[in-house]
């Protein structure tokens, strides 16, 4: 019975974690060109990584970065904003326990000190 309970709790935690993965706030750039939006989304995921997230992945289309100014500008903005947003979320004491899973490493590193 205890084993079943632990399995159910583990499954619940895995499901709960999947609901916490941050996604770029595309409302911020809804009036921008599609190329800018693509760059913003990729930059945002990369910013989460730079901020300390272990569940996102760095994403940048090198060719588009070189050739497409809108993509490049969107990427830079997404990176900057999402890195800051992630770090601020991790510093917050009002954190929900699920999101706390993503920030424990960030808090341990003492990222209150800016680079």
What pLDDT is recorded for position 115?
43
> How high is the pLDDT of residue 53?
84
User: Taking 80 as the threshold, does the pLDDT of residue 106 lie above it?
Assistant: no
Of residues 78 and 112, the one with the higher pLDDT is 78
CB of 34 closer than 8 Å to CB of 63? no
- pLDDT, one tens digit per residue, over 23-60 is 899 999 999 999 999 999 999 999 999 988 888 899 99
CA atoms of 94 and 74, how far apart (whole Å): 30
What is the 3-class SS of 34-58, one letter each residue? HHHHHHHHHHHHHHHHHHCCCCCCC
Closest CA to 47 of 20, 8, 87, 15: 87
* pLDDT at residue 16, as a whole number: 44
Residue-wise pLDDT tens digits, 63-101: 999 999 999 999 999 999 999 988 888 777 554 544 555
Q: What is the reported pLDDT for 20? A: 52
Token couple for 79: 């990176």
Is pLDDT of 109 > 70? no
The burial class, CB within 10 Å (0-12 / 13-18 / 19+), for 40 is buried
């Amino acid at each position: 019975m205890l084993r079943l309970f632990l399995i159910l709790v583990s499954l619940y935690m895995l499901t709960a974690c999947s609901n916490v993965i941050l996604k770029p706030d595309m409302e911020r750039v809804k009036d921008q060109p599609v190329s800018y939006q693509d760059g913003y989304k990729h930059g945002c995921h990369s910013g989460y990584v730079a901020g300390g997230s272990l569940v996102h992945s760095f994403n940048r289309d090198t060719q588009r970065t070189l050739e497409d100014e809108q993509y490049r500008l969107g990427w830079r903005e997404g990176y900057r904003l999402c890195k800051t947003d992630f770090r601020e979320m991790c510093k917050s004491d009002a954190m929900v326990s699920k999101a706390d899973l993503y920030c424990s490493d960030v808090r341990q590193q003492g990222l209150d000190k800016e680079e």
